[in-house]
Amino acid sequence: MRDPPLPPYLDRGDGHNRCCQRRFWCIADVCGVLCVLITWLLIGYAEYVVMMILLSWPHSVMRGIHLVLYNTLTVLAFSSHARTMLTDPGAVPRGNATKEHMQWITSQEGGVVYKCPKCWSIKPERAHHCSVCQRCIRKMDHHCPWVNNCVGENNQKFFVLFTFYIASISVHALILAVNQFVSCFHTEWKECSIHTPPATVILLLFLIFEGALFGIFTLVMLCSQVQAIWTDETGIEALKGEEVRWRRQQRWKSMRAVFGRTWHHWFSPFTRPVLSGGGGGGLRHVYPVPTGATHHGDSVRLLDSGSIDSNDSTDSESVAAEMERRTLSTGDMPV
């Protein structure tokens, strides 16, 4: 007897958006690749100015502390960026809206299932289609060109750490740059750097501009991401004003679901929490009918879990109205 189809969230990968023998997630987007190169270039520029100008003073304890701290934060920022970019954000398998899968889901969970007309996949609860990745992403927050990837349930931790560490090195570089300016005003500019005074001034001014710009930007992004995790509502859900139909997690449980159970793993880009089979919070593949629907007949029934059973019935007009509303708002096709 043939085994039943695998649940849609068990993505074995079909080679789409994959590279290095399918080991890494890669998006072939010209704009995204360009933004990634610019990000690396700016990190490298800041590293050069800090090492060659701001920390070029004689050996001392404070110089050693700044040296270790800045380089540690830079390595963590670069690692977080790479993990965000190369991690599958939670892509739903393409083309899995087959007859076998439909029958398997309705027999296990029952109810109305939606499929994406663009990638022809079964859409779990809280999944959205990304036109750049050309995939539906579970708990998609947004697509970020600076990491050339979507931010979803699998890589949100790495994105938050990326914004945190970039903001940290930006603030650190700003403090060092201001201190260098003050020191050079009281001494000869020729003694402040291996470069000429005009070149030193230009390098420092650009570093201050870069640090202020990206420091503010990443701090804003960091706060918005932490708030989204704390309230268990993604950015795209808040932007669209979607009605909350999922069971929201408690605030600390939501934080632990993203960053991990133990606090010393929270700030590490080299670990990630183990996700359960259905994704964060047990995402469903069926969609509930409005709670005000009346019950009669025998085609579908609203269960306590919020799913829809195909054996009994909710008012058919209410079901049809709900399906039409979702189709018009998201473009999803009810099955």
Give the span between the Cα atoms of 243 and 124, in whole angstroms. 16
Cβ pair 236, 141 in contact under 8 A:
yes
Q: How far from 18 is each of 12, 26, 87, CA to CA, in Å?
A: 12, 5, 10
335 residues of the chain, pLDDT tens digit each? 344 444 444 444 567 788 888 889 999 999 999 999 999 999 999 999 999 888 877 778 888 999 999 999 999 999 999 999 999 999 988 877 777 777 777 776 656 777 888 888 888 888 899 999 989 999 999 999 999 999 999 999 999 999 999 999 999 999 999 888 888 777 776 677 777 888 888 999 999 999 999 999 999 999 999 999 998 888 888 887 776 666 777 888 888 889 988 888 899 999 887 654 444 445 555 554 444 433 333 223 222 223 333 333 333 344 344 444 454 445 555 55
Task: Tell me if the pTM is above 0.85.
Answer: no
Of the residues 133, 136, 144, 150, which is catalytic? 144
Element (H, E) at 289: none
Exposure pattern of 117-133 as b/e (b: 16+ CB <10 Å)?
A: eebebbbbbbbbbbebb
Nearest CA to 127 out of 116, 136, 115, 119 is that of 136
User: What CA–CA distance (Å, rounded) separates 304 from 297?
Assistant: 18
Catalytic residue status for 144: yes
Transcribe 23-73 into DSSP letters: TEE----HHHHHHHHHHHHHHHHHHHHIIIIIT-SPP-HHHHHHHHHHHHH
Strands 18-19 and 149-151: unpaired
Read off the tokens for 321.
């109205």
